[in-house]
Amino acid sequence: MGGPVNGRRAEPSPTVEVRIDHYSAVHLAASRAREIAVRCGLTGPLPDQAGAVASELASNLDKHAVDGVVYLQPVPGVPGLEILAADRGPGMAELARCLSDGYTTTGTLGTGLGAVQRISGGFLVRTEPGEGTVAAARITPPDTSPAARRTGMVRLPAEGEEFCGDGCAVAGETGAPTALVVDGLGHGEPAALAAHTALRAFEGLADRTLPEIVQGLHRSLRHTRGAAVGLLRLHEGRAEYCGVGNIRLCVLSPREEHRRMDGRPGVVGWNLPTPQVRSVPLRTGQVAVLYSDGIASRWSHAPSPFLLRLPPELLPAALAHRHRKYRDDATALSMEGL
């Protein structure tokens, strides 16, 4: 998936974005979903089902929503396609209410999302008048066990770029889960190579302490253009964050005050500051999100109640849709506390 980077192993494909700004985009979303579903390892009727789900979500956006977008990407860790939809209201809101109330209509409105829910291995939707809607549907083989952990991610290349200079990964299925977001300096292929090098190095470092991981990444990135790095490790009731450069952390909670943390100035691979680990309370029901500077950090100064309540599966799509800078690669990765 994705082109090879200087002949090295290809990076998993970044998130594919289809803006629903015209009816023709509905067909585009469906055909891209079918095509990416095949590349994600789905077989039999599943690619067509993925196309049907993408078509339904996109057609709702086309008919009823303002500023609608569909994101398509592999489900991390298992064969499968994730289809995310986001808008700024108002139409999807009505549909989602019908769905969550079990309310049926004689029109095509409720039935469409009901079908999406039946076909999908997992379907989540959140909506609020004035805020819009975010939805996620996962198409996976019938025997797929549910995700071990509640996470979400979106990784978008800068507009017009083939390569994404950001990377992200989660490791530690058994031990303390550890997430990495990396932003190769600049964008395009050299940035992608730096991000790719960091991801490969992270595979062998993930069970070390966070400062050791940063130092290991620093060594492996010496011959690249360097990167900003953010690491997040979950423990019961808390998390550790270690950041260098513009990979920020925000911890969101429906009722409590949110917490923000910024990385220390520096470039991993070039001038590494002494890595500093900071601990932050993070419990079940709270969500931590690591994000690159392709998402404007302004949102985190006063997150809306809608964002504060989003589950980890939906938060990255909402941030990318509302706060993305189109001239930079943009990544967000979220995890729920343990």
Binding site for Mn ion (CB under 5 A): 183, 293, 328
Contact between 72 and 147 (Cβ < 8 Å)? no
Q: Which is nearer to Mn ion, 56 or 183 (CB)?
A: 183
Query: Which DSSP string corresponds to 180-247?
Result: EEEEESSSSHHHHHHHHHHHHHHHTTTTS-HHHHHHHHHHHTTTSS-EEEEEEEEETTEEEEEEESS-
Neighbours of 181 (CB within 10 A): 29
Structure tokens at 177: 């889960």
Classify residue 310 as left (phi > 0), alpha (psi -120 to 50) or beta.
Answer: beta
CB of 34 to Mn ion, least distance (A): 31
CB of 191 to Mn ion, least distance (A): 8
CB proximity list for 50: less than 8 A, separation 6 or greater: 33, 34, 36, 37, 42, 81, 83, 139
Phi, psi for 322 (deg, rounded to 5): -95, -30
Q: Long-range CB contacts (< 8 A, 24+ apart) of 212-215?
A: 213/178, 213/180, 213/242, 214/242, 214/244, 214/268, 214/272, 214/275, 215/272, 215/275
CB of 291 to Mn ion, least distance (A): 10
Q: Which is nearer to Mn ion, 293 or 313 (CB)?
A: 293
Q: Which is nearer to Mn ion, 126 or 324 (CB)?
A: 324
CB of 174 to Mn ion, least distance (A): 32
Element (H, E) at 171: strand 166-171
Q: Which is nearer to Mn ion, 32 or 248 (CB)?
A: 248
CB of 224 to Mn ion, least distance (A): 15
Q: Which is nearer to Mn ion, 82 or 293 (CB)?
A: 293
Q: Which is nearer to Mn ion, 169 or 234 (CB)?
A: 169
Q: At what angle do helices 91-100 and 46-64 cross, to 10 degrees?
A: 120
Q: Which is nearer to Mn ion, 32 or 323 (CB)?
A: 323
CB of 183 to Mn ion, least distance (A): 4
CB of 162 to Mn ion, least distance (A): 16
